[in-house]
Amino acid sequence: VKLTKTIKHFDWEIQFFEHSSVSTKTTMKFSVFLPDPKKVPDSALIWLSGLTCNEENFILKSGFAHHMADSNTMIICPDTSPRDLNLACEHESYDFGSWAGFYVNATTKDFKDNYNMYDYINTEIYNLVTKFFKIKATKISIFWHSMGGHWALIIWLNNPEKYQSISAFSPIVNPINAPWGKKAFEWYLGSNKKDWEKYDATVLLQKWNVHKKLILIDQGTNDDFLKSELLTNNLQKAADLSQQKIQINMREWYDHSYYFISTFLGNHIDFHLQHLK
C-alpha cells in the first residue's frame, strides 16, 4: 500500500493511495479521509461511488468535511473499476467497463481475470480497513451512490453482522430489470439470467433475506434515472413483502447528482455515527 499524495482540506488531510490488487490484477487507487493521521480512528465509513466516478468524486464534491468535526471516523473511497487495461469494449461507453465495474465478480471470458470488484471491495478494501487502518470489525458502516447500491445491499443482506449500518443515495436496486444492469450483467456474467439474481437486491429481499436493522435511502424525484434504471419502488415493494425495515425519503425536485448528495449527506453521516457509537 503506497501513499501517493496528501492534500490539506479544512483542518485535516486527504490521502491518496494505490496498491496491487489480487482481485483485479491491477494497481487500484483509493482515497482516505483520516481525522488524525497520528491516531487510529474509532470507526470507518466505506463510500462506493457510481458510474463515471473514481476514487476522488466523493472526497472532492460531497462537502463531507462540514459534517465530520467531532468524530474520529475515517472515510475510504475505492475506485469503481480496474484501470489501465485494454479489454474488448472496455472503454467504449460510460455504463460498462472502466468507470463501471458494477461491483460484481465477472465470469465471462474477457472480464473474469480482472473485473472482480465484488471481491475487491468485500475482501481487499475490507482488509485494508481492518488491518492497514486497524479499525475494529464491529465499527464499519457503508454508504454509496447509484451503481454502488446493489453491491452494498447484497453484502448487507448476505452478511448481516459485517456492517453496522448502510445507507444510500439514488441506488440501483433492481438491476436485472433495468437497461444499465442488463447490459452490464450480460457482458460480465453471461446470458443466463439466473446467474444475475445473486447481484440483485430486490430479488434477494423478496426471496429470503431480511435484515433486522433499518436501511436508509434518499432519492430525488427529479432524478432522470429513477423510473428507468433505479426502480426504487421495486425495492419498497420487496421490503413490504418481506417486512424489511426501510426508510426511503423521496426528496422533491432533487436530481441524481452531488448537488443532491451534498444536501442530505449530513443526515446520512449522523445516521452512521449513531450506529457506530
Q: Which of 14, 172, 226, 238 binds its own copies (CB under 8 A)?
A: 14
Is 38 a binding residue for its own copies by CB under 8 A? The answer is no
Is 37 a binding residue for its own copies by CB under 8 A? The answer is no
Q: For this structure, is 211 an active site residue?
A: no
How far does the chain reach from its first CA to its final CA, in angstroms? 28
Q: For this structure, is 146 an active site residue?
A: yes
**Alpha carbons 157 and 166: distance in angstroms, whole number:** 10
Is 156 a binding residue for its own copies by CB under 8 A? The answer is no
**Alpha carbons 113 and 128: distance in angstroms, whole number:** 21
Taking residue 88's Cβ as centre, other Cβ atoms within 10 Å add up to 12
Q: Which of residues 246-275 bind its own copies (CB under 8 A)?
A: 251-255, 257-260, 262-263
Nearest-5° Cα angle at 272, 138 to 18: 70
Query: Which residues lie across from 141 on neighbouring strands?
Result: 45
Is 88 a binding residue for its own copies by CB under 8 A? The answer is no
Q: For this structure, is 256 an active site residue?
A: yes
Cα dihedral across residues 202, 261, 248, 170: positive or negative? negative
Contact present, 218 and 136 (Cβ < 8 Å): no
**Residue among 60 and 214 whose Cβ is closer to its own copies:** 60
User: What beta strand segments (E) does 35-72 contain?
Assistant: 43-48
Site track for its own copies across 40-69, x = CB under 8 A? --------------------xx-x-xx---
Q: Which of residues 177-236 bind its own copies (CB under 8 A)?
A: 220, 222
- Among candidate residues 98, 223, 268, 275, the one labeled active-site is 223
- Residue 9: phi, psi to the nearest 5? -150, 125
Least distance to its own copies, CB of residue 255, Å: 6
Q: Considering CB under 8 A, how many residues would be counted as binding its own copies?
A: 23
**Alpha carbons 253 and 223: distance in angstroms, whole number:** 8
**Region binding its own copies by CB under 8 A among candidate stretches 7-15, 121-129, 156-164, 166-174:** 7-15
Active site (catalytic) residues: 146, 223, 256
Binding site for its own copies (CB under 8 A): 7-10, 14, 60-61, 63, 65-66, 220, 222, 251-255, 257-260, 262-263
